[in-house]
Structure 1
Amino acid sequence: MTTDATVLPVRGAAPYDVVIGHGVSARVVDLLGDAPTRVALVVSDTLRGLAAPIEKALAERYALTVIEIPEGEQAKAAATAITCWEALGEAGFTRSDAVVTFGGGATTDLGGFVAATWLRGVRVVHVPTTLLAMVDAAVGGKTGINTGAGKNLVGSFFEPSGVLCDLAFLASLPHAELVAGMGEVVKCGFIADPEILRLVEQTPDVDAVLDPAGPVLRELVERAIAVKIDVVVADLKETGGADGHPGREVLNYGHTLAHAIERAEDYGIRHGEAVAIGCVFVAEVAHRSGLLSAATLERHRTAFGRVGLPIGYDAAAFADLLATMRVDKKSRGAQLRLIVLEESDGVLSPRVLAAPDEQVLAESYAALGSAS
């Protein structure tokens, strides 16, 4: 078993640990302990081979049910959740049993939602296999599925019993998926941890930033997870922060447009790619609203762009995207709300921009096309 693990405690109402390191997925049985009789492993069909060691370990200790789900966002559908619930029912799952998710963010969201809703909640342990899932979906207790109206509109807050971020899995991740995961990492740099931006911008060889075996990417993973932990411990259910801070909503920086783009693309664009575009968009909005300097707007373009993320977009009509944004989870009634950054003496502070000027929104979106 690995000895290089970093343990980041989440000390909210339901405490758990996020364990980061090479080989830490082997700890899944120790984490579950003796309480469960039955365990369900939720895994996409394409990752069944990668999950084989965990599947074997679980089968040796528990009555194991393997639930195969579709790959990616296609998994986050009501029909898939029903399939999972039926499998748990057939296996006789009780409240002392547990679910283990193995895969990317969609698997974590779907599997967490199934665990949250079966018998009103059974234990769940997440084993994220992508950079995006490690720094975002697996931590914080948000679960959900998509509907025709939009992304993650049906869901619940349900914290896991533990998260095992095995960095060894990143070595088998396609390069494009690794790059996409950096969308959430760089976002964390802007909203809370400038050291993330320094590492991304000033590491001489950008390949070192994306090296799954290297120290830079590990530090970025740990820092991004630490940002998310700090936010969710302070505001688990998005009730708001103190002194005008948006609370947990700050994690949705760039996500309002990002989710609209994902829907417009029928989820053919990677989430982290859409987030990068969305962050540049809200930086444009903040700049044109007098909140953000031109230099910090440009820094958004260079930081996301340096790791290979898109910073421009004009593939959908803005009117259609705006209609989708109006039903975003952060909206209140007919009022669109964006998370933006306000700059004062070089210090960035997140805030909510309610009812932004539609002309500013249109001009900001048009600027994305000129950057592509």
Structure 2
Amino acid sequence: MNRTPLLDLAAQYRGIGGEIQEAMRRVLESGRYILGPEVKALEEEVAAFSGTRHGIGVANGTDALLLTLDAWGIGPGDEVITSPFTFFATAEVISRLGARPVFVDIDPETYLFDVSQLEQKYTPRTRVILPVHIFGQPADLDEVRASAKDRGLKVLEDAAQAIGAEYKGRKVGSFGDAATYSFFPTKNLGGYGDGGMVVTDDEELAERLRSLRVHGRGPQSKYHHIDIGYNSRLDELQAAALRVKLRHLEAWNEARREKARIYDQSLADLPVVTPAVPADRKHIYHLYIIRTRRREELMEHLRERGIATAAYYPVPLHLQEVYRDLGYREGDLPVAEEVSRQAMALPLGPELDQVTQDGVIGAIRDFFLG
């Protein structure tokens, strides 16, 4: 039986293998493997792509969030408002610093946190708003920024899944006080291992992050330390590969949008919910998500036909066992809970060919229409 993966990374490599091998050769021959010229060039290129002044490469997307919050002094007694419908890392970093995540329910059509509910979540301890551009769709950034400005709060965009997405004609990453990216292999801009980056216009924050990522190093030498920092460095091999992929990113994102449009049209008459995209957003479809009350049945039906799917996210963050002490109960954030029971990802990627996509669509239609 032919297998249809959720994302075919091997096919991606076949398309750019020569460029990747040349980039790897360049690094291996240089003798520089950590925080060298490739990292510096990637930082400049990603910052320019995002419309920001600074890029700071780190070991992964989780560290990008963690180091930024740490650089702002977030810690015990502080609260950070974010979404319950995202990967665990978004809340984990808040807790790791001793602060408290405060969750806002999501919009049932976009799955982004509902900015109209922010007001009721503020307390004197609120320090940061952390919107998540989930699945590649930008959050309501004007509303978030206005609300944060009124209260003197920081905005940190979690753009792990959204590099290249646009809000009102401007790329995400340039709206908050800082934004973070993940270069995990499955991301739209993914490496061949872990990697992450913070982008910002704030020069002081950028310098602090550059220190924190190398054990809080001071300007004198690597043996002088001004902070308790981290070992969170982006390596040269990953940076070189990412520089190759960055040149293809816009075309890849456009290909994803086209395949998402085909899904939208082909599934419109079925009892599934397909993504809603406001007119002022440009979605990059890190994942193509549908919702159905028959999720488990549909996933099994597709699995039997060799088609990979995945549930996103089956347990919302406020109901995770580790967060029982926060006091949330089932029913507190009903939209996130319902979406978590129904949402699933379909195969998607720039390399998904029409025959394969038609096979996925046909299998879904067979399930609902017989």
TM-score, L = length of structure 1:
0.38
Per the normalisation by structure 2, the TM-score is: 0.38
* Structure with more helix by fraction: 1
